[in-house]
């Protein structure tokens, strides 16, 4: 259970502004590719469905993300709020990565998030599809790390 000391603002209930801020903070954390940092946004007993994999708890999340970023190289992600209400946010996202053979992919998906009163995510349901792309089809070309503020988002990129 989270406490006010472990709060991760913004906290519910969400507005359009706070939902967008929450999604951007999640995007920034995931673009760090730091499993420990990312895990702190989730309740200690957070439950996930990621594709067909089911996870429970921060330790499992850290192990999952370590594996993920070990095979999804040069990972760059953009998230965009689709809808929100009270303590829930739905986002759509896309990320680009390459495998160890050099093949690039664009992965598209949707996530449903549910938060506790202190802004920690207690439930994450993600559906994701992968599309092989050529190097010249890549759209996410900023240096690894946080997406620059002036880089277009998903809607501006036509995704």
Q: What is the CATH number of the domain that holds 19?
A: 3.10.450.50
Q: How much is the average pLDDT of 1-10?
A: 81
Q: Is the pLDDT of residue 2 over 80?
A: no
Phi-psi region of 143 (alpha: psi -120 to 50; beta: other; left: phi over 0): beta
Six token digits for residue 64 = 């999952």
Tell me how far apart the alpha carbons of residues 64 and 47 are, in angstroms, rounded to a whole number.
13
- 80 in a structural domain: yes
- 110 in a structural domain: yes
Average pLDDT, the chain: 97
What pLDDT, on the 0 to 100 scale, is given for residue 5? Answer: 67
pLDDT > 90 in the chain, percent: 96
Based on the structure, what is the number of domains in the chain? 1
- 124 in a structural domain: yes
DSSP characters over 118-155: TS-EEEEEEEEEEEEE-GGG----SPSSSPPTTS--TT
- 22 in a structural domain: yes
- 157 in a structural domain: no
Neighbours of 151 (CB within 10 A): 15
Q: Is the pLDDT of residue 21 over 70?
A: yes
Range of the domain at 25: 7-137
- 145 in a structural domain: no
CA 44, chain centre distance (Å) = 17
Q: Is the pLDDT of residue 3 over 70?
A: yes
- 52 in a structural domain: yes
Tell me if 97 sits within 8 A of 124, measured CB to CB. no
- 123 in a structural domain: yes
What pLDDT, on the 0 to 100 scale, is given for residue 1? Answer: 65
pLDDT in tens, 50-100: 999 999 999 999 999 999 999 999 999 999 999 999 999 999 999 999 999
């Amino acid at each position: 259970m989270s406490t006010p000391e472990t709060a991760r603002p913004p906290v519910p209930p969400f507005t359009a502004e706070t939902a967008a801020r929450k999604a951007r903070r999640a995007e920034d954390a995931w673009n760090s590719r730091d499993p420990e940092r990312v895990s702190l946004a989730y309740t200690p007993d957070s439950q996930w469905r990621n594709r067909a994999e089911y996870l429970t708890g921060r330790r499992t999340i850290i192990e999952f993300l370590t594996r993920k970023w070990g095979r999804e190289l040069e990972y760059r992600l953009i998230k965009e709020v689709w809808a929100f209400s009270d303590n829930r946010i739905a986002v759509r996202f896309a990320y680009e990565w390459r495998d160890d053979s050099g093949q690039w992919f664009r992965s598209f998906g949707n996530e449903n998030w549910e938060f506790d009163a202190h802004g920690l995510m207690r439930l994450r349901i993600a559906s994701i599809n992968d599309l092989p792309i050529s190097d010249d089809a890549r759209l996410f070309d900023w240096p690894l790390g946080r997406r620059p503020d002036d880089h277009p988002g998903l809607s501006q990129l036509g995704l």
